[in-house]
Chain A
Amino acid sequence: MPNKTLTAFTEGTTLAPTDFLVGYNSGLPTGLVGSERKWNASLLGEYVKQALGVQPWQATAWVTFDGLVNVNANAVVKSSYNVASVLRIADATGCNTVVSRFQIRFAQPMSNSNYTVIGMPMVGDTTSIHHNDQALGVYSKATNTATDSVVSVFDMNNRGTNAQVSRFTTVVFFGGK
């Protein structure tokens, strides 16, 4: 670093991830020449992210998927965070209704099963509505585990009298860490 006063430095109005910040390495005895260090600015971002840990306001996992697959086949995952796969499991029946079910498997296990689950399927396609009017819910608290969660899709238009799936479903998780 040149021997400059602060006013001699050009002020950067933005800090790019590839810029370098300079300082001293705490691992070396202080006051020694050679303890100067430079850090890529992206490392500062990573440091803050790691220092934050998993905060309650962070989603701990989420996934979007196409559910139009056979039972016991993996749904087509379009995008995800901390989700390894989505398996369509057997439909569930009862109370004159039938629902399709999907088991969402986490990439990194949660620490507990008390996470929040929210999701949304389709209620229509681009312009029309018929057999696309689904609601989504958690199938059972008992099927929420640290490694996976089961959600169910209910056909509202037919009051659940047949099993429907959604071509684009989102499920988001908070907590559990």
Chain B
Amino acid sequence: MPNKTLSNVVEKTSLLPTDYIVGFTNTAVGGERRWSGTTINTFLQNYIKAQPFVASAWVTFKGTGAAVGANVLIHGSYNVSSVTRLSNFVDTGTGTVGCGWRYQVNFAPETMKNVNYGVIGASLIGFQDPNGDDQIVGMAGGNTLTSCRIGAMDMQARGGNTETSDFISVIFIGGQQ
């Protein structure tokens, strides 16, 4: 940087991706660096993404059409690599019946830093086939750093059949810290 005082420096009113900001990466001579606006942007995006109020990951997927052990069709996602259909719930009760479908949401590498992330989701209720699309979504076991299991249960039949949903959405929060 030329030897200038502040009043000699032209002020810009916007920062472009191709502009540079200078500084130091350490205190030693030779530690001087320049960072492009693009690099600054990446840093700021990562900084904000790490905040607790930002979603860690999300996915919407088609719950039907995949065999047990196969991956389902993902409509859209963020930090999710795949969603695997697991075997259906086993009813362990002695009274009313209960079953439903299970899925394992697999995260992209390095997405989760802790296992106590929050999970919320929703499914179809009553689209085209009100007797078969009235599912509720919930947790189905513990969280891990690499995946999370969720279940979809048919409310109309009180989980008494094995129907599932064409459209399931799940959002994860608080795992990136």
Contacts and interface: CB of A to CB of B under 8 A. Distances in A.
Is the pairing of A and B real? yes
B124 interface: no
Interface stretch (B63-71, B74-82, B91-99): B91-99
Given A19-B23, A135-B136, A62 B174 contact: yes
A6 B39 CA distance: 16
Nearest to B30: A10
Interface string A133-177: 111000000000000000000001111000000101011100000
Contacts of A33: 5
Nearest to A52: B48
Contacts of B142: 126, 168
B23 A30 contact: no
A128 B159 contact: no
A127 B89 contact: yes
A31 B136 contact: no
B99 A129 contact: yes
A171 to B, nearest CB: 8
Interface in A112-128: 118-128
Contact of B5 (A20, A30, A38, A159): A30
Nearest to A13: B39
Specify which of A9, A41, A80, A157 lies most central, judged by the most chain B CB atoms within 10 Å of its CB. A157
A151 to B, nearest CB: 12
B5 A32 contact: yes
A135 B55 CA distance: 22
A123 B139 contact: yes
A123 B137 contact: yes
A22 B120 contact: no
Contact of B32 (A9, A58, A60): A9
B1 interface: yes
B14 interface: no
B105 to A, nearest CB: 13
Contacts of A17: 47
A14 B23 CA distance: 13
Nearest to B143: A168
Contact of B153 (A2, A5, A129): A129
B36 interface: yes
B121 A120 contact: yes
A11 B102 contact: no
B114 A38 contact: no
Interface in B109-145: 114, 116-121, 136-143
Contacts of B9: 24
B34 A15 contact: no
Contacts of B138: 120-124, 133-135, 166
Contacts of B43: 14-15, 41, 44-45
Interface of A: 1-6, 9-17, 19-22, 24, 30-33, 35, 38, 41-42, 44-45, 48-49, 52, 58-60, 62-64, 78-81, 118-131, 133-135, 156-159, 166, 168, 170-172
